[in-house]
A and B are shown apart, each in its own frame.
Chain A
Amino acid sequence: MTDEETVLSVADLTVTIGTRRGAARAVAGVDWSVRAGETLALVGESGSGKSMSVLAATGLAPRAARVTGDVRLLGTDLATLSAARRRRMRGRHVGFVFQDPMTSLNPVLTVGRQIGEASEVHLGLTRRAARARAIEMLELVGIPSAAERVDAYPHQLSGGMRQRAVIAMALVCEPDLLIADEPTTALDVTTQAQIVELVADLQRRLGTAVVWISHDLGVVAGLADTVAVMYGGRIVEQGSVDAVFAEPAHPYTAALLAARPDPDANVTELVTIPGTPPSPLELPEGCAFWPRCSVRGDSRCERELPPLVPVAAGHQVRTFYPRQSTGEDR
């Protein structure tokens, strides 16, 4: 983790959120890191802790959340920084794209102003220079007639255009890391593909590291270098995209992959995983996936938390019963 190239690394990250019904463990000890130019995908169902782990690492967790663990951004331990210094890292070194471009833009400010304002704060640009910079950024993300669109309000743009504007906003200070929190979920399929393509293209050109949070395995497969599958606040499987997708070792990952709709197969019903994810209010002592697991080994799974162990080089899994890497019954 002390790699020169490492942009962001988190170690033993936990997030506990105080609620009326007790403490909820949204993230229960997570390690991951992302290097320059690389894309890490965090995959999981809603409530698996994938977004929360990223928000907490970058200081955007809700106020009720207690965050512990070691977070290093560009080699700096964020815990040693003052709140103001931590704030200045955001926007300057880390850019964010959130899920819904309809709600993540301020309705009463022009897109140009919203794109430019981070460069005013972090790069010291004047308002005029920031506006020029915003036009450049709009061109970079492929918005036609950028010089006019810079003065448009969010409601005057289509969903895809807005998400492009949000990406322009995130990249305006040329950050080292781009965090994309389900950026295509709220878009239609054609637009989704364009946004994925755009981010991949910008990443190649700018050398930005990307953390892509998604539940869409199809998007992840085409985009990411490494993938971390999260369940119940923990990483259950981690490795290169090729290894994890070709030879899923955790029953959960295998079930997720099996649940992907296959356009060629002539099926009338979608494959699902029975049951629901555990509540972060009462995470089980042992493996969180045990109640839904198809392998469902002995009572050891119920009592004891399996450690994250390597199954191959750069491929780790948290289960007592890793699937054999035969590649069959996928």
Chain B
Amino acid sequence: MTRFILRRLLQSGIVLLGVTLVVFLLLQLVPGDPVRVALGTRFDPETYEALRSRAGLDQPLPVQYASYVGQALTGDLGVSFRSGRPVTAIVLERLPATLSLAITAVVFALLVAFPLGVLSALRSGSVFDHAARVFSQFGVSVPDFWMGIMGILLFAGVLGWFPPSGYVALTEDPAGWASHVFLPAVTVGLVTASILTRFIRSSVLEVLAEDYVRTAEAKGLPTRVVVVRHVLRNALIPVVTVVAVQLASLLGGVIVIEVLFAWPGVGRLTYDAVQARDYPVLQGAILLVAALFLLVNLLVDLLYARLDPRIRVR
């Protein structure tokens, strides 16, 4: 078990190294000179050269990359071109906002999708099933930003139940955080819920047709036991993966939603960094997202081994 985790962590490290290389090279292809953008109207050739050499941008590319990776290993992701603050601090201070939004959205999605998906599978072909299908079709086809805008108009504008945008830290004011997180989390969560509803429904339907479910019925077990112990235990194993992938992608920040709701998360940071050609911050944000993705995947693999005895952690 420990060996498995260590090996996976090592693999994750290699993947992260690859991510830095790809991001580094991609940024070289992006048009625009970050130093020029940083200087703006205060441009003069001397300051320009000085800034370039301070940022190491006058060095050859392999040298730039090697020094970046070397510093990254010590936790130093460079300094922001725009604010001059350390990137590590900038990225990490955005993490709580993104984490709290992503987790709230996934919890909301599960609360909706689990009963909807399971019940529509158990009563497939019923009115309930059709209604659930319309809901999930709606959720996957309507753009989230449109739903977000409608949510703001209705709940913040007309009804005035929730603030239209902004962020309050959970640790400072839980009630304020809850009222601010509600609209963005529901907006993001509805999309996730639609995807999960469909997936859970088809997974449960598939297991219902399994021979061992008939065996369980042949034993005369009460329906509740058949459904919970035999159907759901099996049907939810693949659902774990889908939930994890959804969570991981939300951890990358939902850029449109974060911008729409003025939510100071990683997505918003990425957006601003692109606008300002703030390469160090952009690299740092992407690196963080990649690391979170790998972490979630590792946790899923460990969870899988616990849920499915056929899988051995070696």
Residues of chain A whose beta carbon lies under 8 Å from any beta carbon of chain B? 58, 60, 87-92, 94-96, 98, 100, 103-109, 117-118, 121-122, 153, 155, 166, 169
Contact = CB atoms under 8 A, between A and B. Distances in A.
Interface in B202-241: 210-212, 214-223, 225, 229-230, 233-234, 237
B212 A103 contact: yes
Given A100-B211, A104-B214, A106-B230, A91 B310 contact: no
A148 to B, nearest CB: 15
B219 A60 contact: no
Nearest to A93: B220
Contacts of A89: 220
B221 A117 contact: yes
A121 B220 contact: yes
Given A90-B220, A121-B220, A96 B215 contact: yes
A118 B308 contact: no
B214 to A, nearest CB: 7
A118 B310 contact: no
Given A87-B220, A96-B215, A108-B237, 20 more contacts: A58-B218, A90-B220, A91-B220, A95-B218, A96-B219, A103-B210, A104-B212, A105-B212, A106-B230, A107-B234, A107-B308, A108-B233, A108-B234, A108-B309, A109-B230, A109-B233, A118-B220, A118-B221, A121-B220, A153-B310
Contacts of B234: 106-108
A118 B219 CA distance: 6
Nearest to A96: B218
Contact of A104 (B211, B221, B233): B211
10 contacts: A90-B218, A91-B218, A94-B218, A103-B210, A107-B212, A108-B308, A109-B230, A117-B219, A117-B221, A118-B220
Contacts of A118: 219-221
B307 A108 contact: yes
A105 B218 CA distance: 12
B211 to A, nearest CB: 4
A32 to B, nearest CB: 19
State the majority secondary structure of interface residues on B. helix
A122 B220 contact: yes
Contacts of B210: 103
A141 to B, nearest CB: 16
A179 to B, nearest CB: 8
Interface in B255-314: 307-310
A118 B233 CA distance: 18
A87 B215 CA distance: 13
A95 B215 CA distance: 10
Contacts of B219: 90-91, 96, 117-118, 121, 169
Contacts of B310: 107-108, 153, 155
A98 B214 contact: yes
Contacts of B221: 91, 117-118, 121
Nearest to B237: A108
**From B219, B223, B307, residue with most partner A Cβ within 10 Å:** B219
Contacts of A105: 212, 215
